Amino acid sequence: MNIAGDVVAYVFDENGFYTRLANRAIDKVPWHQRVRYRKHGLCVCLNKAAKGLDPGTYAKGAQLPLRAGLIRVGCPQFLAEVFSATSAFGVKQILGTLPHSQLYKTLRVMIPLVCPDLDVCPARTDVVKTYAAPAFGQELKSFVADLQRAGLTG
């Protein structure tokens, strides 16, 4: 599969939206669970939540608040709180304003940012499929630009 270099550069921008979100998720892993998430635990959690939030899977729960929906699809409470917190990047909730079709992609985009070794990651196939989707780079840039115009990225 062909993954555009601009997508990777955009996602891995050290001051960018996705890197900041991934760093926040890593920072919020509870200390007593750090060993559990050291290898690919966080990757698996993100991928499981992404699968559960795929529009085809999540249709029945789409009316739930974001935090409840994430927990319902198996996301650990600390991650559900990171993604639904009103303080994700300032005082405004970002991910709660996302259409669910964008949210599951956002979770997959974060996996390489938190993964210790993507070559052996259990979520690798799903991540590569997401990154290789046609026009994915433009979709990511448009999404973050919309958040910035709405004043949601702090």
- Helices 41-53 and 124-131 pack at an angle, to 10 degrees, of 60
* Torsion sign over Cα 66, 122, 16, 8: negative
Q: Per-residue pLDDT for 125 more than 60? A: yes
Domain that holds residue 43: 5-149
- Interatomic CA distance for residues 80 and 67, integer angstroms: 5
Is 38 among the domain residues?
A: yes
Asked if residue 90 has pLDDT above 50, the reply is: no
Whether residue 108 contacts residue 54, with contact meaning beta carbons closer than 8 Å, is answered with: no
> Which residues are CB-contacts of 127 (< 8 A; sequence separation ≥ 6)?
47, 108, 111, 112, 118, 121
Query: For residues 77 and 100, which has the higher predicted lDDT (pLDDT)?
Result: 77
For residue 81, being part of any structural domain is answered with yes
Confidence of residue 124 (pLDDT cuts 50, 70, 90): very high
- Distances in Å between the Cα of 53 and the Cα atoms of 6, 18, 36, 37, 38 are 26, 18, 23, 21, 24
Q: Percentage of the chain with pLDDT > 90? A: 10
- The total domain count for the chain is 1
Query: Is the pLDDT at 91 greater than 80, yes or no?
Result: no
Q: What is the DSSP string of 39-83?
A: TTHHHHHHHHHHHHHSHHHHGGGTTS-HHHHHHHTT--HHHHHHH
Mean pLDDT for the stretch of residues 9-14: 83
Q: Could you tell me which residue, 92 or 56, shows the higher pLDDT?
A: 56
* 100 lies in some domain: yes
Instruction: Name the range with the highest mean pLDDT among 6-20, 44-58, 63-77, 114-128.
Output: 114-128
Asked if residue 154 belongs to a domain, the reply is no
Of 74, 45, 42, 43, the closest CA to residue 58 belongs to: 74
For residues 43 and 38, give the distance between their C-alpha atoms in angstroms, rounded to a whole number.
10
More confident residue, 3 or 69: 69
Provide the pLDDT for residue 39: 83
16 compared with 124, residue with greater pLDDT: 124
The sign one gets for the Cα dihedral 109, 114, 115, 116 is: positive
pLDDT tens readout for residues 15-54: 888 888 888 888 888 766 666 666 888 898 899 888 887 7
User: 98-122: per-residue pLDDT in tens?
Assistant: 665 677 888 888 899 999 999 999 9
